[in-house]
Amino acid sequence: MGEARLFDAHVHLDWLAEPARAAADAGRLGLRMLCCTVSPKGYQHTISQLNGFDDVRVAAGMHPWFVDGGTDAEKIASAIEGTDWVGEVGLDFGRAHVATKKDQLRVFEAVAEACSYGGKTISVHAVRSAGTCLDVLDRTGALASCRCIFHWFSGTSEELVRAREAGCWFSVGERMLATRRGREYARQVPTDRLLLETDLPEHEGDATCAANIAASLDRAAQTLQALRPGWYPRSARLF
């Protein structure tokens, strides 16, 4: 592998109609990407298409929005056993999703337990739940033994300090950096644990391409370089 120009720590290639084409185009643009999936089924489908791309890692995910209370916990735990890359996983206690809080917790507990032996990279979704996510990861041992990345961190200042002191990483994109709080949080994250992300596409089936991903990363990088003199896109990397 050659040296990557930019790294996207959270992208949903699984939501594209042609993920392999996007991965190939991204490679030509000098991009590396962590493709976060939203379900075990989506993970299996996507890894079968992208497993041959050196510049892409596919993570096994169970997004809290799509937890249905069935066998999700068993399926994601089984998928995690075969990979070092996990995401998108976590908890969302926002108004639209708090009704499934109990099932979300059951699934995230299973995720953390499956990661507790260590050596995994975990991309964590935490909406109104960063403290609870940290509790679960800490209790299972995954917080200490894995590389835990908070994607688009939106917790409290106290939760940010706790995550930072626990050694967590943080991925930020242009939408997070468009907010005052997002920019302030980006200033407080250790340089060597600050990653770029796009979280593209926004919805399954949305039209996007590698060029759009690269453009979003470029914009986010420019903002971060203005906020954090001395930071550059390769200050931190996952692979």
Closest of 185, 150, 184 to residue 169, by C-alpha:
150
Percentage of residues in the chain with pLDDT exceeding 70? 98
Q: Which fold has domain 6-227?
A: TIM Barrel (3.20.20)
- Across the range 73-101, mean pLDDT stands at 97
Average pLDDT, the chain: 94
More confident: 144 or 202:
144
CA angle 12, 17, 19 (to 5 degrees): 55
More confident: 63 or 232:
63
pLDDT tens figures, 15-27: 998 899 999 999 9
Asked whether 45 and 20 are in contact (CB, 8 A), the reply is: no
- Across the range 65-90, mean pLDDT stands at 95
Q: Annotate 34-80 with DSSP letters as a single string.
A: EEE-SSHHHHHHHHHHHTT-TTEEEEB---GGG--SSSHHHHHHHHH
Asked if pLDDT for residue 51 goes beyond 50, the answer is yes
pLDDT band for position 3 (50/70/90)? Answer: low
- For the chain, give every domain's residue range: 6-227
- Across the range 195-205, mean pLDDT stands at 90
What three-state secondary structure class fits 110?
A: helix
pLDDT tens figures, 130-148: 999 999 999 999 999 999 9
- Across the range 173-178, mean pLDDT stands at 97
Asked if pLDDT for residue 1 goes beyond 50, the answer is no
Cα gap 199→169, rounded to integer Å: 16
Confidence at residue 205, expressed as pLDDT on a 0 to 100 scale: 75
Provide the whole-model pTM: 0.96
